[in-house]
Structure 1
Amino acid sequence: MEERPENPDMHVYARYTQETRLRAEEVIGKMMGGHALLYSSGLSAAASALDFYMPSTIAIRRGYFGVHEVIRKYCAGRNVSIIDLDDEYPVTQGAPAGNNLDFRHGTTLVWVESPLNPTGEARNIQHYAERAHAAKGYIVVDATLAPPPLQDPFRHGVDMIMHSGTKYFGGHSDLLMGILALQRYDQFKHLWEERSVNGRVPGNFETYLLLRSLRTMPLRVLRQSDTAAKLVKFLYSLTETQQPDSNVPAQIAHGRVVKQVWHSSLQPRATLEEEVEDTVKENHDFDPSSQITHGGSPTFGMLISNENYAKYLPHYLSYFIPATSLGGVESLIEQRVIASPGMDPRILRISVGLEDVEDLKVDIIAAMTRLVNEHS
């Protein structure tokens, strides 16, 4: 009987199998409804997904800048076309997608990040899955911003799910981890064989920390999602089209500090008069309630009225830590341009932790009031 990589007779070498890693992969696989493999980081998982499909066309738009850098590295020396998510997809020639492992000859790979970094808005996964498969291509969904139990991309026909396990799976800002999951066992085994060769496995201690975090993950994520939805509603009330609560000082209401708030709970939404980057290309009429069934992402974005406010606000808060990353138990806020050059400097990204929502709201009111008093 052929040995199965997830159930070896013995551990020969840690690059192949290791007890703690196997246990974590088993737990995560059940959480995601597929076969999961762990990697040394989210970007090493992204690189492994590209090496696995070996596409000659990649459809992608916006999203985490690190993935774009991985794609740039993959394209070096190869004849690869990068197209927009909504462009026409070239049909993959040769074997029909999904029937066997002979798919790595000029395939089209559709890379969908949903919810989207840094806005927390959801994209219509099933729509892009159907388009990818109609072109005999494949679709990978980077679901980092809405991990289980918030959404299940496999329900909508995706071929592979990617996560930066550093974020919500890790949950404590103390480990690096990447995750890929597939539903077909033959593809999982092939991916495991490739990982055994490229050596992109996580360290044993990081995997131990991951196992620790999985025990509380559903509790953490659901609480963070609920708090984020309440905070989004509060911040949205500060925009110029909304009426704020009576306890909000007039000087920080009516768009004087907050111009826009982005989050899946605000979808569908009209394209606003003032949009940034190419957000007008996103399908704002999409209702994500049937896709993100247990709450939106605990991470979301907002547009501040001017660059100076965006620069100082993160440092005037007490409960929020001005730092990059997301998914931990502490609430974080950052001026996104610091980590992602080229981003509109007025954009702030918030990652909600486990603090009480009323404490966060009081903190925001105090910080914005100080901001207006000192920088108007």
Structure 2
Amino acid sequence: MSPQIPTCQLGTQLLHGDHGPGSEVVPSISVTSTFRAVPHGDPEGLGAMNPEKHVYSRYSQNVTSRVEQILSKVNQGHAITYASGLAAAFSALVHFKPKRIAISGGYMGCHGAIATYIKGRFTDTPIISLDDEFQEGDLCWFESPLNPTGESRNIQYYADKIHAVGGKLLIDSTFGPPPLQYPFKWGADCIFHSGTKYFGGHSDLLCGIIIVKTEAEREQLWHDRVYMGNMMGSLESWLLLRSLRTMHLRIPRQSANGTEIAQWLNRAIVPEGQEYDGIPGGVITKVWHSSLQKPDANGFDPAVQMEGGFNACFSILLSKIEYAEKLAHSLEYFVPATSLGGVESSAEQRLNSDPKENPLLVRLSIGIEEVTDLKDDLRRALVEISKGN
């Protein structure tokens, strides 16, 4: 990777963290799969910005290298990209080769990737709970904030627990991207993101990201990626680079909107026959969100861990299945969709994607729209479904 630019704020890193040779302000989309060899060139492919280092796009190409430089800086580690979040999840399992995997709840896609990884193993890889006793060789697969509810978990607690036996902690921080949360500060060994969500931010690309603490670890991941063949395409890399330019503007706005709406909906949990701000009582029975959590017995306060603001994706529990089935399709400004993290808000009865989920649960991903319009939309839809319309 190119030399580090001087220390600067997040927004400046996102805009200028990929300085390299050439005069293009916005890089061209590279469509070449192979590059003209130069004397004494080498196929390092480790994210070098020097175009003469590029040999074959399975190793590296210019836009992906620029993206990985920025991701490394803003995540305070050494980043590598993949064709999708699940491709990154599978690659992390290959990298760590865990004897056992400790995981509880979270994104069903990662559970599927773990099951697929185990299927290809010649030896059993037991799955245990985060609350079980850990052993040497375990991988603690930890998600915070948690999908789909948006609750925060204590990273430091589980990092200390797994490190005490010589294991590793991988955190899925998809719901807590920079500047909201920096998991290395709390003891994580590896950070995983579905870059499809907040890093992409525009619902138009698939991407997975792994960040590790050392360049040597990243090099191992890169060698695996070369032969697994799960690198990002050129167009997706270009779209991601474009998206990173506004990440410091998008995510704080989504965080502020999401926190305000979650707290507003929580105040609407009132008995049937009453109402709060036009929302009929007895429709919403629970709201999960990091901002609504109280410090636990260990003194964990999500506000400290989420130093840049709370998550923009969270869930609500409705009182009737027909309410949960209708809500997403009764909204105007919320897209009924399964993905999240885009600039547009979305809503989903989570059961439609995860058959293990509570059928009363609706996940809301809050975008950058005007928060008053989102509130008006939710209020109108909740009134409508409560009347059976």
TM interval, short-chain normalised: 0.7 to 0.9
Please name the residue that 1:68 is paired with: 111
Out of 250, 255, 263, the residue aligned to residue 233 of structure 1 is 263
1:88 aligns to 2:133 (yes or no): yes
1:116 aligns to 2:159 (yes or no): no
CA distance in 2, matches of 1:20, 1:187: 22
Please name the residue that 1:159 is paired with: 189
1:216 aligns to 2:246 (yes or no): yes
User: C-alpha displacement at 1:241, in angstroms?
Assistant: 7.7
Out of 23, 30, 47, the residue aligned to residue 6 of structure 1 is 47
Three-state SS of the structure 2 residue aligned to 1:343 is coil
1:190 aligns to 2:220 (yes or no): yes
Three-state SS of the structure 1 residue aligned to 2:286 is strand
Alignment check: 8 A CA contact 1:267 1:284 kept? no
Alignment check: 8 A CA contact 1:306 1:346 kept? yes
User: C-alpha displacement at 1:286, in angstroms?
Assistant: 3.3
Which sections of structure 1, spanning at least 5 residues, go unmatched? 93-106, 271-282
Out of 328, 346, 349, the residue aligned to residue 342 of structure 2 is 328
Indicate how the Cα distance of structure 1 residues 309 and 53 shifts in structure 2: closer, same or farther if over 3 A, else same. same
Indicate how the Cα distance of structure 1 residues 241 and 292 shifts in structure 2: closer, same or farther if over 3 A, else same. farther
User: C-alpha displacement at 1:142, in angstroms?
Assistant: 0.3
Aligned residue-pair number: 344
Out of 128, 147, 170, the residue aligned to residue 140 of structure 1 is 170
Three-state SS of the structure 2 residue aligned to 1:295 is coil
CA distance in 2, matches of 1:175, 1:27: 17
Alignment check: 8 A CA contact 2:83 2:232 kept? yes
Please name the residue that 2:71 is paired with: 28
CA distance in 1, matches of 2:57, 2:242: 20
Alignment check: 8 A CA contact 1:314 1:322 kept? yes
Indicate how the Cα distance of structure 1 residues 285 and 155 shifts in structure 2: closer, same or farther if over 3 A, else same. closer
Summarize the alignment of residues 1-376 of structure 1 with structure 2, pairs less than 5 Å apart.
Answer: 5-7=46-48, 9-76=52-119, 77=121, 78-90=123-135, 92=136, 107-240=137-270, 247-249=277-279, 252-253=280-281, 256-268=282-294, 286-374=300-388
CA distance in 1, matches of 2:60, 2:328: 43
Opposite residue 81 of structure 2, the aligned amino acid is L
Alignment check: 8 A CA contact 1:159 1:182 kept? yes
CA distance in 1, matches of 2:309, 2:124: 40
Alignment check: 8 A CA contact 1:267 1:285 kept? no
User: C-alpha displacement at 1:247, in angstroms?
Assistant: 3.5
Indicate how the Cα distance of structure 1 residues 340 and 57 shifts in structure 2: closer, same or farther if over 3 A, else same. same
- 1:254-286 deviations in Å (ceiling 9; x for gaps): xx110000000001279xxxxxxxxxxxx8973
Indicate how the Cα distance of structure 1 residues 119 and 28 shifts in structure 2: closer, same or farther if over 3 A, else same. same
- 1:13-44 deviations in Å (ceiling 9; x for gaps): 11111110000000010000001000000000
CA distance in 1, matches of 2:147, 2:299: 19
Opposite residue 283 of structure 2, the aligned amino acid is V
- The CA RMSD over aligned residues, in Å, is 2.1
Please name the residue that 2:30 is paired with: none
Instruction: Give the TM-score normalised by structure 2.
Output: 0.85
CA distance in 2, matches of 1:138, 1:368: 44
Moved more, 364-373 or 283-292: 283-292
Indicate how the Cα distance of structure 1 residues 245 and 152 shifts in structure 2: closer, same or farther if over 3 A, else same. farther
Three-state SS of the structure 2 residue aligned to 1:374 is coil
Alignment check: 8 A CA contact 2:101 2:138 kept? yes
Alignment check: 8 A CA contact 2:78 2:215 kept? yes
Moved more, 311-320 or 40-49: 311-320
User: C-alpha displacement at 1:240, in angstroms?
Assistant: 3.0
- 1:211-256 deviations in Å (ceiling 9; x for gaps): 00000011000000000000011100111389x986425xx12xx1
Indicate how the Cα distance of structure 1 residues 334 and 38 shifts in structure 2: closer, same or farther if over 3 A, else same. same
User: C-alpha displacement at 1:177, in angstroms?
Assistant: 0.3
Indicate how the Cα distance of structure 1 residues 265 and 157 shifts in structure 2: closer, same or farther if over 3 A, else same. same
Please name the residue that 1:101 is paired with: none
CA distance in 1, matches of 2:149, 2:117: 26
Opposite residue 79 of structure 1, the aligned amino acid is D
Three-state SS of the structure 2 residue aligned to 1:340 is coil
CA distance in 1, matches of 2:271, 2:159: 35
Indicate how the Cα distance of structure 1 residues 318 and 190 shifts in structure 2: closer, same or farther if over 3 A, else same. same
Indicate how the Cα distance of structure 1 residues 285 and 248 shifts in structure 2: closer, same or farther if over 3 A, else same. farther
What is the identity percentage for the equivalent residue pairs of Structure 1 and Structure 2? 45
